[in-house]
Structure 1
């Protein structure tokens, strides 16, 4: 078993001292970062994962892990017994070959059943991971939590259904029983991320092609800022956060072309200039999804991926600042530099001289 250095628990998270926590999705990017942050603070925490092999890997590191499948009909009472704070990060994500029913079973029905089990077993807090994607292509820039919801694909529709169901449970539950909060991360990046690796790699390798104008708004959220938001959701005054959703991102939004130029600049390469029209790429994504779905094969191109180039994502963080006490610690240049360094250390992108 590996030993783990314990860091001082920051004063803003003092309410977690002595609490038993459970983090679902502990093998994933955000869930893993949250789980390991709690471990680093010396908090009594169990991480749940989907696969037995993932649980064994965590246990070999000396971490407490259990297997939890949100799509299963298992009884979860014993797993949640004694957990005072439950962070639900697990979700079905980017599994375009899966059916809508399976997505709904995990991201909606499974998430709700987990919240109901946590309530029944006496948890004090339930902090649920939603997504700013419930706003879709935002109707106003920057969007607030009150901006119209406009989920544009299967993942976002089922995540919205899960969020709505869990916040409805909150309306029927006193915060003194269990305070329930939803955190909506923006486009999360940082050390440990593989989802945005392709974007970084194609830019740094000089192979990036912009689809469309590059004028869409985008808003990054560094993973450590997101971890802070989840922790704040567990310690903020219950009545300030109970039954509420919070959009979370880092620093300020920027145009997509500005993000591409930032990644190139921090990676020491020339910004890419090649662009292609949107319409044929969108059509190709639709065709790829239709052809691949019967074979349960992930398509090489999808509408969700094309939407990265077209959907506005920019968020007003006032509510999170006022009620959660959230403050972004990561400026975009520092975060992009930090992410590139992590990729380079693992030889995921080629090192570049500055």
Structure 2
């Protein structure tokens, strides 16, 4: 119905904010759930309603879900070394249960849960479909899997309708997490750990937002999981070559050995962790260069009608344009002409 309003949790985050903008562009009324007043202030000019609530405080959730036609549950805590494991579980797992309990109590009919491709971790035999074995390798992936399983249990028991989406490697215009990679390539300082042959599967955050919308509208689907990725997976070296070409710089060529870099990362973590310091080098950052992340998105295409809008080159073009518009990447220097 035209007057229905939908709740987006984690609306201040990268994915949640993209979803908010997508829904508003479709004429859908949105209630944004955030944790702080500063986040609320930034969203008030964009959404119809804002509510401040906390997944770790279940008593704050009732106003968030009251009267909504559906919940897009995006809120989660991502990988930050200084955050204790208990916080990951409190938000990524227990927080899902609290949110579902509140939605069920309020009579909300549909709950779309944001999981992650990380529940599968490294793909030994790519590409992986949704039935690929679970093998999370860090606390983020472990607790995201626990959260997905909590949601699936609620769906199967008929407590609430919904599905879980597993986005692949999310990026897009304005993404601050991939900015470092683009900057290093632009500066000629990017290097590979290993040969650069690991498979990567990026997905534009705008496609992720559309996939969530499709999942909410597909009310005939219940207790299903969907991998949401870009048009195709590529090697990391193919990624870097395309980015370098669009930046107008030489492609990266330096390759460092995996063993010593992983050992250095491990030592750095050991030194930094007792002091709550974010290590400059993580084992998971090294793993980025050597783990395969490649997925079969045919189920999402077939059952959700999902289709990525652009190829990797088009997505990179938009990302670079956004970085340059915001000043995060310098404009290309004009070529000097001979006298």
Q: Is the 8 A contact 1:225 1:330 kept in 2?
A: no
Aligned to 2:8: 23
Give the TM-score taking structure 2 as reference length. Answer: 0.94
The answer as to 2:20 corresponding to 1:70 is: no
Aligned to 1:163: 148
* Residue 71 (structure 1) shift: 2.3
The answer as to 2:173 corresponding to 1:188 is: no
Alpha-carbon distance change, 100 to 253 in structure 1, aligned in 2, over 3 angstroms: same
Q: Which residues in structure 2 correspond to 1:291-306 (within 5 Å)?
A: 291-306=271-286
Where structure 1 has 5 or more consecutive residues not aligned to the other structure, the ranges are: 1-15
The answer as to 2:214 corresponding to 1:232 is: yes
Q: Is the 8 A contact 1:267 1:337 kept in 2?
A: no
Q: Which runs of 4+ in 1 moved over 6 A?
A: none
Aligned to 2:94: 109
* Residue 134 (structure 1) shift: 0.7
Q: Deviations over 1:40-65 (max 9, x none)?
A: 22211111122221112222556522
* Residue 179 (structure 1) shift: 1.5
Aligned to 2:268: 288
- Most deviating of 117-126 and 193-202: 117-126
Aligned to 2:109: 124
RMSD: 1.6
Q: Is the 8 A contact 1:183 1:246 kept in 2?
A: yes
* Residue 139 (structure 1) shift: 2.8
Alpha-carbon distance change, 320 to 60 in structure 1, aligned in 2, over 3 angstroms: closer
* Residue 120 (structure 1) shift: 1.9
* Residue 305 (structure 1) shift: 1.4
Q: Is the 8 A contact 2:173 2:322 kept in 1?
A: yes
* Residue 353 (structure 1) shift: 5.2
Aligned to 1:8: none
CA distance, structure 2, for counterparts of residue 61 and residue 113 of structure 1 = 27
Aligned to 1:93: 78
3-state DSSP class of the match of 1:74?
A: helix
Alpha-carbon distance change, 290 to 17 in structure 1, aligned in 2, over 3 angstroms: farther
CA distance, structure 2, for counterparts of residue 42 and residue 349 of structure 1 = 33
Aligned to 2:192: 210
* Residue 113 (structure 1) shift: 1.4
CA distance, structure 2, for counterparts of residue 95 and residue 84 of structure 1 = 33
Aligned to 1:326: 306
CA distance, structure 2, for counterparts of residue 127 and residue 21 of structure 1 = 11
Give the TM-score taking structure 1 as reference length. Answer: 0.91
- Most deviating of 34-43 and 141-150: 34-43
